[in-house]
């Protein structure tokens, strides 16, 4: 179980959570990657631009320096004053002016042979020898200028640039600087000058000072500084500062402005949060979904369970029992399978007297007992009501089968403790055995049912194995039932015959017993002994009884004085309306109640506190007589005669026919008659067939006699004819006397 749950969980993780998380991450990282890529591209472009800007600013500065220089070097006054070596003038115009006004860091004037004649440095006039410090870097530029002048190269000169010049980037006094060199020339052209031998003006502007500041403030370069080496820290940009010869002087280093990075640094946390949220949502959704799916599966499972199980006992129901029997029967080597059909005895009484919940409790408990009795392979099912079915396996022989059947019966007999009451029931069992009784489930169940029926009709609380004879008996019953229904709806099949009852004293007919006859259209006469029990089982008896009662009453009403006896089944007496029905028939037919005698069984007469008892009391109050039929059979005991509230005892024909020279029957009959007389009851002996029997019965003192000796039961028309005939005979005899 645990393993199954673990397996199921890891499958869920593998097939659902993992792909969903992977997909979410993929999308998330895809978006992130795209963003990073675009920001990287943007930043790259931006850094590039800034580098070019630095380059541009430096080259503009160079141009500006040359331009600024021209304002003082292309000037007749300047040519004249340097020739005169008027150092004060030079200082004001070519030195301090350059420093103070244009912000140069150094200004020098060299003579025609490169001899320094003036120097301005560190914000003030200096000794011309100060030039020596920068000579190594500057002299090559001056030489280049002079050769340009000598060559008359004016390619640089245009509307904006007034004189040729040479400029470069160099390290001056350990600082990077723009150095620009221009000849001091006449602006008018009026002063004669030898090309290449002009006075030369040198300007120096450091680029690590004010330029850095300018780049920071005007161009908003962040943390820009000059460095001799390229920045190796990540995230810093460096732009090399190169001399015209291609030598790298140093680098401008700054924190580049990276718009992509700015965006990314703002977007990434949000995006991360979104991804995490999406992950949480996805996982939660899947988990919820799984939960719902699980719940659904559980409820499906429950529905399936309910469909296959009995809700009261939790045992398999008919459907699942059938399925499992089919499976078992289909298996190879399936011998030893038997089916048991069970039906509780007296369950209806429990339900009626103690209520349905008590009935339920009993069913539940019985189901539990059954389940405890059988093996693992066996199945106990409830089919509904008080019906159970079992499939037993591996009960090899008859003895074992009988053993389990008896155990089931014993379990059912053990009292049930229901809500403080001890309840006694029983169970009837029918069994069929696979292979012996067939291999088809329907057939086997039907046969078990037939056997159950047999158990029930032969006394209940017992088990029976199916036999062919049972089947035939049942089939006969079924046919009989159908035919009986038909007979009831058709004229001429069910006929009431009458058997006379004579006074043993006068030998005169004092009344008749109505006996039902069935003339079956195909099978001929069918004995009431055969069809009455079936009518009782099927409930047809009430219709039949009413039919006989009505005809008998009609017949008797036409007779003078004579009584009519009608047989009443115990089933009829159990109907609360029975007495009322008899009353209405008496009223309809006009027969006096005292001329009607009902023949009932002994057990119906003893059951005082029941519906039958109520019926009998009402009937007796009406004046109807009650006789006990077949006295001496069944549970009869002579002792019980005292308590019976009846008018007549009919001694069973088995005693009468047992009257022989040496038998106990005479003594029994005598005892019955004496007791009956002592209680004031009349007696009738049935089945009188011989004169000898007649004589013995007369001697014993039996009141009335009935039997083939006098007449079999005859149709009404014959009764009426004999009555007329008898009356004539009587008339005749009275006339002759
Ligand atoms: P029962 O009430 O004991 O009826 C007497 C039976 O004994 C009748 O059989 C009758 O024909 C037979 N019998 C009469 N005299 C003699 C004789 O001398 N010797 C022998 N061997 N038999 C004699 P039947 O008519 O076949 O009826 C059988 C049983 O069917 C009756 O027994 C009665 O219990 C039942 N029955 C008949 N008609 C009705 C009816 O209308 N309603 C009910 N509830 N039961 C009926
Ligand atoms: Ca009878
Ligand atoms: Ca009888």
Q: What percent of the chain has pLDDT over 70?
A: 96
* 567 within ligand 1 shell (Cβ under 6 A): yes
pLDDT of 730? 60
Nearest ligand to the CA atom of 513: 2
pLDDT exceeds 60 at position 736: no
Query: How many whole angstroms from 515 Cα to the centroid of ligand 1?
Result: 6
Residue nearest to atom 41 of ligand 1 (CA): 516
- Which atom number of ligand 1 is nearest to the Cα of residue 536? 44
* Residue to mutate (ligand 1; options 484, 494, 515, 655; most atoms within 8 A of CB): 515
* Residue to mutate (ligand 1; options 487, 524, 528, 549; most atoms within 8 A of CB): 528
* 684 within ligand 1 shell (Cβ under 6 A): no
Among 240, 242, 236, CA closest to 168 = 242
The tens digit of pLDDT for each residue in 354-391 reads 888 999 999 999 999 999 999 888 999 999 899 999 99
3-state helix, strand, coil in the chain (%, to 5): 55, 20, 25
pLDDT of 143? 94
Among 399, 401, 47, CA closest to 390 = 401
Residue nearest to atom 29 of ligand 1 (CA): 529
Residues flanking ion ligand 3, Cβ below 5 Å: 629-630, 686
Any idea which residue has 């280049």 for tokens?
144
Residue 534 CB contacts under 8 Å (≥ 6 apart), including other chains: 477, 480, 481, 484, 540
Positive/negative CA dihedral, 20, 22, 24, 30: negative
Most confident of 7-16, 150-159, 547-556: 547-556
- Which atom number of ligand 1 is nearest to the Cα of residue 514? 41
pLDDT of 309? 92
Q: What is the mean pLDDT of residues 664-677?
A: 89
Q: What is the mean pLDDT of residues 519-539?
A: 93
* 629 within ligand 1 shell (Cβ under 6 A): yes
Q: What is the mean pLDDT of residues 98-117?
A: 93
pLDDT exceeds 90 at position 647: yes
Q: What is the mean pLDDT of residues 633-662?
A: 79
Can you read off the two tokens belonging to residue 46?
């931006």
pLDDT exceeds 70 at position 634: no
The tens digit of pLDDT for each residue in 679-733 reads 999 999 999 999 999 999 999 999 999 999 999 999 999 999 988 877 666 665 5
Name the pLDDT band for 126 (thresholds 50, 70, 90): very high
pLDDT exceeds 70 at position 165: yes
- Which atom number of ligand 1 is nearest to the Cα of residue 515? 38
pLDDT exceeds 70 at position 323: yes
Least trusted range by pLDDT, from 41-50, 156-165, 340-349, 616-625: 156-165
Residue nearest to atom 22 of ligand 1 (CA): 687
* 528 within ligand 1 shell (Cβ under 6 A): yes
* 530 within ligand 1 shell (Cβ under 6 A): no
pLDDT of 737? 44
Nearest ligand to the CA atom of 548: 1
Q: What is the mean pLDDT of residues 272-286?
A: 90
pLDDT of 3? 82
CATH 3.30.70.270 occupies which residues in the chain? Answer: 303-466
pLDDT exceeds 80 at position 475: yes
- Which atom number of ligand 1 is nearest to the Cα of residue 569? 44
* 689 within ligand 1 shell (Cβ under 6 A): yes
Q: What is the mean pLDDT of residues 553-579?
A: 94
Please write down the long-range contacts of 328-337, taking CB distance under 8 Å and 24 or more positions apart: 328/391, 328/393, 329/434, 329/439, 329/440, 329/441, 329/444, 334/434, 335/434, 335/435, 336/393, 336/394, 336/395, 336/396, 336/434, 337/391, 337/392, 337/393, 337/433, 337/434
* 605 within ligand 1 shell (Cβ under 6 A): no
pLDDT of 1? 66
Report how far residue 515's alpha carbon sits from residue 505's, in angstroms, rounded to the nearest whole number. 24
Burial of 375 (0-12, 13-18, 19+ CB in 10 A): exposed
Residue 400 CB contacts under 8 Å (≥ 6 apart), including other chains: none
* 569 within ligand 1 shell (Cβ under 6 A): yes
The tens digit of pLDDT for each residue in 333-359 reads 666 889 999 999 888 878 877 888 999
Name the pLDDT band for 320 (thresholds 50, 70, 90): very high
CATH classification number, 303-466, choose in 1.10.238.10, 3.40.50.2300, 2.40.240.20, 3.30.70.270: 3.30.70.270
Burial of 210 (0-12, 13-18, 19+ CB in 10 A): middle
* 713 within ligand 1 shell (Cβ under 6 A): yes
Q: What is the mean pLDDT of residues 134-141?
A: 93
DSSP designation for 91 = I
* Residue to mutate (ligand 1; options 530, 567, 578, 649; most atoms within 8 A of CB): 567
Nearest ligand to the CA atom of 651: 3
The tens digit of pLDDT for each residue in 46-73 reads 989 999 998 898 888 888 898 999 989 9
Query: How many whole angstroms from 28 Cα to the centroid of ligand 2?
Result: 101
Query: How many whole angstroms from 573 Cα to the centroid of ligand 3?
Result: 17
Please write down the long-range contacts of 677-682, taking CB distance under 8 Å and 24 or more positions apart: 677/701, 679/641, 679/642, 681/646, 681/647, 681/648, 681/649, 682/647, 682/648, 682/649
pLDDT of 209? 82
Report how far residue 325's alpha carbon sits from residue 318's, in angstroms, rounded to the nearest whole number. 10
* 650 within ligand 1 shell (Cβ under 6 A): no
- Which atom number of ligand 1 is nearest to the Cα of residue 599? 2
Residue nearest to atom 43 of ligand 1 (CA): 567
DSSP designation for 100 = I
CATH 3.20.20.450 occupies which residues in the chain? Answer: 491-730
Query: How many whole angstroms from 164 Cα to the centroid of ligand 2?
Result: 162
Tell me how far CA of residue 120 lies from CA of 69, 106, 211, in angstroms: 14, 5, 20
pLDDT of 727? 65
* 447 within ligand 1 shell (Cβ under 6 A): no
Report how far residue 220's alpha carbon sits from residue 256's, in angstroms, rounded to the nearest whole number. 10
Any idea which residue has 């219709």 for tokens?
543
491-730 is a CATH 3.20.20.450 domain: yes
- Which atom number of ligand 1 is nearest to the Cα of residue 688? 18
**Which residues, listed in sequence order, are joined to residue 252 by a DSSP beta bridge?**
226, 239
pLDDT of 560? 86
Report how far residue 603's alpha carbon sits from residue 607's, in angstroms, rounded to the nearest whole number. 6
Nearest ligand to the CA atom of 652: 3
Q: What is the mean pLDDT of the chain?
A: 90
pLDDT exceeds 80 at position 326: yes
């Amino acid at each position: 179980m645990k393993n199954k749950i673990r397996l199921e969980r890891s499958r869920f993780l593998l097939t659902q959570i993992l792909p969903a998380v992977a997909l979410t991450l993929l999308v998330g990282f895809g978006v992130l990657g795209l963003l990073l890529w675009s920001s990287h591209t943007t930043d790259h472009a931006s850094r590039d631009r800034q580098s070019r800007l630095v380059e541009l600013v430096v080259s503009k500065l160079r141009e500006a320096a040359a331009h600024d220089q021209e304002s003082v070097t292309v000037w007749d006054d300047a040519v004249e004053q340097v020739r005169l070596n008027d150092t004060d003038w030079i200082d004001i115009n070519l030195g301090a002016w350059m420093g103070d006004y244009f912000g140069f860091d150094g200004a020098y004037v060299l003579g025609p042979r490169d001899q320094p004649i003036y120097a301005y440095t560190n914000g003030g006039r200096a000794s011309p020898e100060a030039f020596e410090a920068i000579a190594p870097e500057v002299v090559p530029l001056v030489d280049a200028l002079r050769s340009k002048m000598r060559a008359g190269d004016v390619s640089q000169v245009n509307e904006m640039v007034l004189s040729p010049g040479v400029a470069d980037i160099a390290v001056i006094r350990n600082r990077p600087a723009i150095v620009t060199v221009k000849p001091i020339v006449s602006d008018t052209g009026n002063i004669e000058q030898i090309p290449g031998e002009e006075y030369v003006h040198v300007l120096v502007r450091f680029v690590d000072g004010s330029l850095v500041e300018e780049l920071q403030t005007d161009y908003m370069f962040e943390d820009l500084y000059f460095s001799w080496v390229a920045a190796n820290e990540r995230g810093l940009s460096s732009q090399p500062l190169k001399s015209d010869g291609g030598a790298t002087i140093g680098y401008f280093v700054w924190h580049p402005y990276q718009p992509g990075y700015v965006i990314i640094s703002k977007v990434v946390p949000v995006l991360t949060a979104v991804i995490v949220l999406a992950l949480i949502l996805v996982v939660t959704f899947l988990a919820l979904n799984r939960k719902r799916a699980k719940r659904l599966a559980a409820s499906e499972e429950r529905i399936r369970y309910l469909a296959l199980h009995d809700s009261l006992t939790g045992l398999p129901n008919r459907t699942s029992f059938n399925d499992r029997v089919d499976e078992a029967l289909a298996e190879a080597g399936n011998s030893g399978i038997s089916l048991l059909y069970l039906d509780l005895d007296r369950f209806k009484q429990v339900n009626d007297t103690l209520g349905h919940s008590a009935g339920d409790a009993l069913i539940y408990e019985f189901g539990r007992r059954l389940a405890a009795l059988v093996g693992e392979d066996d199945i106990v099912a409830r089919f509904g009501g008080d019906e159970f079915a079992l499939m037993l396996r591996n009960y090899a022989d008859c003895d074992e089968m009988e053993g389990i059947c008896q155990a089931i019966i014993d379990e059912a007999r053990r009292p049930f403790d229901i809500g403080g009451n001890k309840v006694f029931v029983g169970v009837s069992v029918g069994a069929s055995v696979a292979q012996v009784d067939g291999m088809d489930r329907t057939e086997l169940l039907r046969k078990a049912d037939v056997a159950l029926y047999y158990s029930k009709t032969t006394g209940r609380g017992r088990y029976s194995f199916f036999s062919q004879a049972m089947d035939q008996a049942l089939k006969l019953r079924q046919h009989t039932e159908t035919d009986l229904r038909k007979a009831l709806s058709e004229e001429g099949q069910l006929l009431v015959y009458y058997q006379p009852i004579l006074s043993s004293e006068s030998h005169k007919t004092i009344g008749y017993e109505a006996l039902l006859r069935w003339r079956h259209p195909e099978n001929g006469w069918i004995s009431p002994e055969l069809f009455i029990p079936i009518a009782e089982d099927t409930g047809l008896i009430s219709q039949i009884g009413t039919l006989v009662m009505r005809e008998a009453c009609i017949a008797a009403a036409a007779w003078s004085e004579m009584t009519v006896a009608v047989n009443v089944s115990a089933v009829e007496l159990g109907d609360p309306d029975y007495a009322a029905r008899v009353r209405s028939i008496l009223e309809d037919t006009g027969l006096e109640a005292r001329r009607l005698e009902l023949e009932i069984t002994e057990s119906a007469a003893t059951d005082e506190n029941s519906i039958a008892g109520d019926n009998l009391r009402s009937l007796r109050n009406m004046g109807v007589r009650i006789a006990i039929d077949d006295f001496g059979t069944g549970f009869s005991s002579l002792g019980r005669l005292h308590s019976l509230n009846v008018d007549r005892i009919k001694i069973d024909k088995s005693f009468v026919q047992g009257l022989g020279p040496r038998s106990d029957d005479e003594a029994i009959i005598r005892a019955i008659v004496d007791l009956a007389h002592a209680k004031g009851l009349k007696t009738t002996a049935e089945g009188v067939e011989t004169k000898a029997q007649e004589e013995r019965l007369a001697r014993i003192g039996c009141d009335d006699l009935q039997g083939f000796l006098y007449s079999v039961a005859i149709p009404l028309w014959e009764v009426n004819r004999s009555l007329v005939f008898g009356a004539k005979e009587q008339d005749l005899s009275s006339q002759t006397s």
